Amino acid sequence: MPEPSLLDRLKESGLLPPEQLAGLARLPEANSPDARALAKVVLQRGLLTRFQVSMVAAGKAGDLRVGPYVLLDRLGEGGMGQVFKA
């Protein structure tokens, strides 16, 4: 079974509304074998943060939701845990 594309993972994540996903799907970058092309468009349009795109691309989009919050960025970490911006 082939690896899901970045667009597939974005759809599964639920982070973007259907109209934004449809707009991304029409772009040539959506069909590029290099996921970085579509990731660059998502970042340039300000749809997601770099942290979020990295997590989605790694297949860890589910880790971006903590209760009612959506994680935007990892601010730091220490011996006792991590700090996130939500």
* pLDDT tens string 16-57: 999 999 999 999 999 888 999 999 999 999 999 999 999 999
pTM exceeding the 0.95 threshold for the entire prediction: no
Token pair listed for 23: 């707009």
Exposure on the CB side of residue 68, measured as CA atoms within 13 A: 0
Contact 60, 54 (CB under 8 A): no
How remote is the C-alpha of 22 from its chain's centroid? 15
Mean pLDDT of 2-17: 94
Per domain, the residue ranges of the chain are 6-85
